[in-house]
Amino acid sequence: MIRVGIIGGAGYTAGELIRLLLNHPEVELCFVHSTSNAGNPLSAVHGGLEGDTELCFASEYDLTAIDLLFLCSAHGQSGVFMAENEVPASLKIIDLAQDFRDEHDGFVYGLAEWQREKIASATRIANPGCFATAIQLALLPLAAAGLLTDEVHVTAVTGSTGAGVKPSSTTHFSWREGNISTYKAFTHQHLIEINRTVRALQPSFDQAINFVPMRGDFTRGILASVYTECSLSEEEARTLYENYYATAEFTHLTHRALDMKQVINTNKALVSVAKYGSKLHITTAIDNLLKGASGQAVENMNRIFGLDPRCGLKLKASAF
C-alpha cells in the first residue's frame, strides 16, 4: 500500500482528493492536515465523506511515515512548506498549487499527455492548473507537429469551484445563479504555464495566445473553445489529434459535438476538432476538480508508483 498524507485538507480539491484516495485500492490515507480544522472529522468539512471515513483532521504530521505527500494549500504556501520543513529525500511530493510549475527545485510539470515518461521517473510533481490543462490539451498536437503559425484565441468557461472554497462577491449563489461574466481577460495566471509548454514543444512559435476566461452558472467543469489559422484540412487535423492521443488513457478525440456533462465527475478529457474556412476550431471539456486538479494528481501518483494510470479513477460521468 502507498502511504499518503495531505497538507491543506479543507478546500474543494482536497475534498475530491480525499474521496479518490479513500477509494483507491493501493492507498492508505495516513493523515490530512489542517490548522483551522484540527480535531474535526473530515466529514464535518467535506459532507460527501459522511459514512466513508472516521478520520479527523490532524494538527501534526510525520513525513517519515509516508511515501507520498500531496500539497493542497493555497498558491504560494507550497514553497513556504518546503522551505520550513525537513523533507525526507525518499518522500515523493505532488503539489496542486502553482508554486513549482516552472519545474524548479526538481519538480516535473505533471501533464502526462506531454511528458508521461518524465513523470514516471520523477519524485516531485507540479500538477498543472485547470484552465491550463484544458487549453494545453487543445494545443499539444499542433505544437508537437510545429503547426502553430498564428495567434491562438481561447474562450473558456469554468464553474464556481474553480475559484476555491472561500466565498467571494463573484462566487456566492445569489450573484452566480443565472449569471455569466468574463474575468482576467488576457492576463490569467495559467497563460504562463501554457506558453511555457507550447514553446517547449515548438520553440519557433512567437505569436500570442489570447485567453478570455469566463465564470459560468454551474459548480464544476471547464469548456474551452480554441481557434487558430491552420493549413490542415479537417480530416488531416483529426488524424493528427487521433494519432497524438492514441495512447492517452484519459484524453479522447470525439467526432461528435461535446459537452461538459460527458466529463463531469471523471478524469476524462474530451477533444473535438472542426475546420471553418482557414481556421481550425478545437473544443475541450474537463472536470476542473478532477482532470483539472485532484484526478490528475492521482493519475500522476499512479504513474510514479508504476500502477495503471486508471487505478482508482474509473469514474462514471454525471451525464444526467
Q: Is residue 227 within 8 Å of 284, Cβ to Cβ? A: no
What is the distance between the alpha carbons of residues 301 and 288, in angstroms, rounded to a whole number? 18
DSSP sequence for 155-195: EEEE-GGGG-SS--TTTSHHHHTT--EE-STTT-THHHHHH
CB neighbours (10 Å) of residue 200?
A: 13
Which of 56, 130, 230, 311 is flagged as catalytic? 130
Cα separation, 220 vs 225, whole angstroms: 17
The sign of the torsion formed by the CA atoms of 65, 69, 72, 73 equals positive
Q: Are 138 and 284 in contact (CB under 8 A)?
A: yes
130 is catalytic: yes
Q: How many helices (H) and strands (E) does the chain have?
A: 9, 13
- Judge whether 143 and 198 are in contact, CB under 8 Å: yes
**Catalytic positions, written as ranges:** 130
